[in-house]
Structures are given as C-alpha cells and as structure tokens.
Amino acid sequence: MKQVYLTGITTTGTPHLGNYAGAIKPAIEASQREDTENFYFLADLHALIKSHDPKAVQQSRLEIAATWIALGLDTDKAVFYCQSDIHEIPALTWLLTCQTAKGLMNRAHAYKAVVQENEEAGSPDPDRGITMGLFSYPVLMAADILMFKAHKVPVGRDQVQHIEMARDIAQRFNHHYGDHFVLPEAEVAESASVLAGLDGRKMSKSYNNTIPLFAPEKKLRKLIMRIKTNSQEPGEPKEADGNTLFEIYRAFATPEQTAEVRQRFADGIGWGEMKQYLFEHLNLLLSEPRERYEALMARPDEIAGVLASGAEKARAQSATFLSELYDAVGIAPIR
C-alpha cells in the first residue's frame, strides 16, 4: 500500500527562498516517488486566522499556487487543491470539534503564545485578540489530515504538536465510533535547510527579511547585495557552514557545486564576489520557472483550472468518507 503524504501551505505572504528550501523542494521531490500518494493544498481557511485582509489572502493564494506549478509540481500525480474547495473539511471539523477536549486546545502553543503576550503586556484579559479560529486552529488542521487518511505529514518543527493533537482527536473518535481514521505522524525533515534571511536571522515573513523566490532580476540582485556579512576581508579564509550566502547557495546547488564553493570560501573569496556569484547562480536557475510563474500569474484561469481538477479528485474521496462518518455518528439520511 502506498504511503499517503499530506501537507498544507497557509496562504499568507509571497513564497521566498526559505520556503523553497524548507518545504517546496522536499515536497516536490517526495511527490516524484512511486511509493507515495501526495496531497498538497493551499490552507486558505487557515489563512483567515492570521490575515483579515481579503486582497492579501486572494493574492497569496494565486502566488503560492503559481509558484508550486511553476517549479514543476506534477499535478497529475500529486493532488493539488484549495482547502476551501473541499466543503467536507469544515463539516469534518465540526464532527471533530465535538470530540475534542477543550483542555487539549488550551495547551496549544499557538494559542498559549498569545495568552502569554497578553499577560506580559499586563492586559486584564488574557484572551485579548484571540478568536475561536485561533483557539481551535488545530481541529481544522486535524480535519485536513484525517480526511485524506494521511500517514505522514511533512511539517516544520513548530507544527509537530498539531499533528500529535490530530492523533489524539482521531483516537478519541475511533474509540467512540469505530476505526475510521488513520493515525498520522509528523515528518520533520532533519535535512531540510532553514535558510537565514537578509539580516542573518531565520528567513521569515514575520522578520521581514525574505528574498522572494520570483523577484524580478534587478530586485533579486539588490536583495542579495543587501545580505548581511561580517567584516572579513577578501583573501581571508572563511567558514562556509552556517554562512548565509553559502547556505542559500547550497540549497540551490548540486553537491559538486557546493564542494567547489566551499573551497572558494577556504581560499578567501570576498563577500562582494560571492554575492555576485550567488546572484548569477540563482538568476540562471530561477529564470525559467520565473517565466512560467509570470505567465501563470497573467493567466489566473489556468491556475484555477489546475486547482479545480485537484479539488475534483480530492472531493471524490472526501465526499464518500464524510458520508461514512455521518453514518457513524448517527446523522445518516433518514430512510
């Protein structure tokens, strides 16, 4: 039996080099394996928890979908869809909500972090600014995962707790109503690189230090030139591992190319020269997908078509499964 891999991408922001190295590249590679079945989706219902800006959510959905397609995701093999197109997901979320202990949600890191911020800010209301969406976010995520009987869920370390919660919720449901759900496992790719951004901290939209994957050539060059470096002079041998320029290069290079650049660090390549080299390498590599990306962004109907056929495949499964679950809980059609 094939292993089912499933992961969601929250549609806030523009995809950047760090997203590529950490999530997109490993996901596309995994989808090329013959022994896996892959569900990749735009978590646009999750986006509404973080972003209340309709234009931004809409734009991010387009950009993320175009990015994955432009980078060569085989959408005939992988099921690629928008979460909001799968109407069975919110329905399953409710069935699961009714089996989820509130105390379990009280322990969710994302929720607790905001409570802690409120307390530290001396707010009289620890739940200030917290919506039910944020509070029950892990239940929606559990529905995403359990709906397609995922075995493995590739995620970043910050998401592992949510997968464990999905397991807990599934177990409780199974215990009560019979064995309907597969218990999922998180898969944290140890090898997936976490890239640093312009200022040397983790590349993340929350730090505003990202390099967009498909920035136009001029912009790409400008951003790379802005990456923070230390005061070492050209000619001084330099440590490659952990260096922002080196790590970005490595994420986009073959092992041979990486070994060569490692040697150039040891030989004392200057930062200016290395930045130029990195720019040329990325620009060459990204120019073709960037063209495809731009063409797709100019033809949203094509993106919509790809997502619609993904949704159709996904719904063939979710519709059947949801009616099985409705039967199980006692809300089957009355005959």
Positions in the binding site for ligand TRP (CB under 6 A): 6-8, 10, 43, 46, 141, 144-145, 153, 155, 159
In whole angstroms, the minimum distance from the beta carbon of 88 to ligand TRP comes to 15
Of 82 and 296, the one with the shorter C-beta distance to ligand TRP is 82
In whole angstroms, the minimum distance from the beta carbon of 154 to ligand TRP comes to 8
Query: Is the dihedral angle over the CA atoms 143, 144, 147, 151 positive or is it negative?
Result: negative
User: C-alpha 169: how far from its chain's center?
Assistant: 22
Of 139 and 240, the one with the shorter C-beta distance to ligand TRP is 139
- How far is Cα 70 from Cα 288, in angstroms, rounded to an integer? 9
Residue 129, CB-side half-sphere exposure with 13 Å CA sphere = 16
In whole angstroms, the minimum distance from the beta carbon of 215 to ligand TRP comes to 23
Of 154 and 278, the one with the shorter C-beta distance to ligand TRP is 154
In whole angstroms, the minimum distance from the beta carbon of 110 to ligand TRP comes to 9
- How far is Cα 165 from Cα 81, in angstroms, rounded to an integer? 24
Of 91 and 228, the one with the shorter C-beta distance to ligand TRP is 91
Q: Mind giving me the DSSP string for 178-245?
A: -S-PPPPEEE--SSS---B-TTSSBP-GGGT---BTT--HHHHHHHHHHS---SPPTTS----TT-HH
Helix (H) or strand (E) holding 4: strand 3-10
Q: Report which of 126, 120, 173, 119 is spatially closest to residue 147, judged by C-alpha positions.
A: 173
Strand order in the sheet with 3-10: 79-82, 36-43, 3-10, 152-154, 185-187
Of 7 and 209, the one with the shorter C-beta distance to ligand TRP is 7
In whole angstroms, the minimum distance from the beta carbon of 15 to ligand TRP comes to 13
- How far is Cα 15 from Cα 25, in angstroms, rounded to an integer? 12
Of 6 and 278, the one with the shorter C-beta distance to ligand TRP is 6
In whole angstroms, the minimum distance from the beta carbon of 246 to ligand TRP comes to 27
In whole angstroms, the minimum distance from the beta carbon of 76 to ligand TRP comes to 22
Residue with tokens 């979460």: 83
What pairs with residue 186 in β-bridges? Answer: 153
In whole angstroms, the minimum distance from the beta carbon of 38 to ligand TRP comes to 12
> Which residue number is nearest to ligand TRP in terms of Cβ?
8
Number of Cβ within a 10 Å radius of residue 308? 12
Of 10 and 243, the one with the shorter C-beta distance to ligand TRP is 10
Q: What φ, ψ does residue 10 adopt, rounded to 5°?
A: -65, 130
In whole angstroms, the minimum distance from the beta carbon of 224 to ligand TRP comes to 26
Of 7 and 75, the one with the shorter C-beta distance to ligand TRP is 7
Of 22 and 197, the one with the shorter C-beta distance to ligand TRP is 22
Burial class (CB in 10 A: 0-12, 13-18, 19+), 119: exposed
